[in-house]
Amino acid sequence: MGIAESIKTIKKELPSGVKLVAVSKFHPVEAIEEALGAGQTVFGENRPQEFEKKAQALQGRGIEWHFIGHLQTNKLKMVLPYADLVQSVDSQHLLDAINDWGAKNGRTIPVLLELHVAAEETKTGFYEEEILDIMFRAGSYKNIRFCGLMGMATNTDAEEDIRADFGRIKACYDYLRDLFPEYEDFRELSIGMSGDWRIALEYGATIVRIGTAIFGERQY
């Protein structure tokens, strides 16, 4: 199945209001062009240099760019000028640096806070109590727009573990939405990737991040 056909097939299954992020990392600009031809306009990248290069090459094409990977503070200048959403804010240090960059550049940066629930220690992100603390202080971040949570389930074939992870992220999301109704932009729940996005929909995903199921295995 080609890129265009894969996109159309996935979109048929997505409920209204759920955004598909086509994860184009490791795939050339030509693959993004093909996806654009199929009406896909939201793309996700996770490497700053690759992100910057593609964003510059495709400027003016109406693309909504999401950065979805671990972001080092010394790479902000490669990402923040182009990112419509930074999905992967995973540390206090990064959050502060993004806010500082926004203040210096006259920008307010939309972000998702990454919640760590997966069993793998290699995964990054905050714990629930850390996110709660940030949200109590959210008003002090004048150049950040808090738009919701992002998370990844444990990389496993055990569906019950995936469901437990998504359930935990959804519970945190619901709790924060109830506790902080004044933050009206806090409405995105980005969970679900190529192998588990259908399960994520059952837990209220508003954004799914799908790469391999659209573009195939990495090309470079």
* DSSP string covering 37-71: HTT--EEEE--HHHHHHHHHHTTTS--EEEE-S--
Overall average pLDDT of the 7-32 stretch: 96
- Give CA 21 to chain center in angstroms: 8
**Mean of pLDDT over the chain:** 95
The full set of domains in the chain, from first to last, is 3-213 (3.20.20.10)
Average pLDDT over residues 16-21: 97
pLDDT at 118 over 90: no
Per-residue pLDDT at 32 exceeds 80: yes
Average pLDDT over residues 109-128: 87
Which pLDDT band holds residue 127 (cuts at 50, 70, 90)? very high
- Report the alpha-carbon distance of residue 24 to residue 44 in Å, rounded: 6
Q: What is the pLDDT of residue 218?
A: 74
3-class SS of residue 149: strand
Percent of the chain with pLDDT over 70: 98
Using a CB cutoff of 8 Å and minimum separation of 24, what contacts does 74-77 make? 75/48, 76/101, 77/101
pLDDT tens-digit readout, 38-90:
999 999 999 999 999 999 999 999 999 999 999 999 999 999 999 999 999 99
Is pLDDT above 90 for 137?
yes
Residue 142 reports pLDDT greater than 90: yes
What tens digit of pLDDT does each residue of 206-217 get?
999 999 999 988
What confidence score (pLDDT) does residue 96 get? 98
Looking up tokens 């003016």, which residue turns up?
60
Residue 2: is its pLDDT beyond 70? Answer: yes
pLDDT of residue 220: 57
Q: How many residues does this entry show for the chain? A: 220
For the residues 163-172, what does the mean pLDDT come to? Answer: 97
Contact 117, 167 (CB under 8 A): no
Residue 220 vs residue 212, higher pLDDT:
212
The model carries a pTM of: 0.95
Residue 146: pLDDT above 60? yes
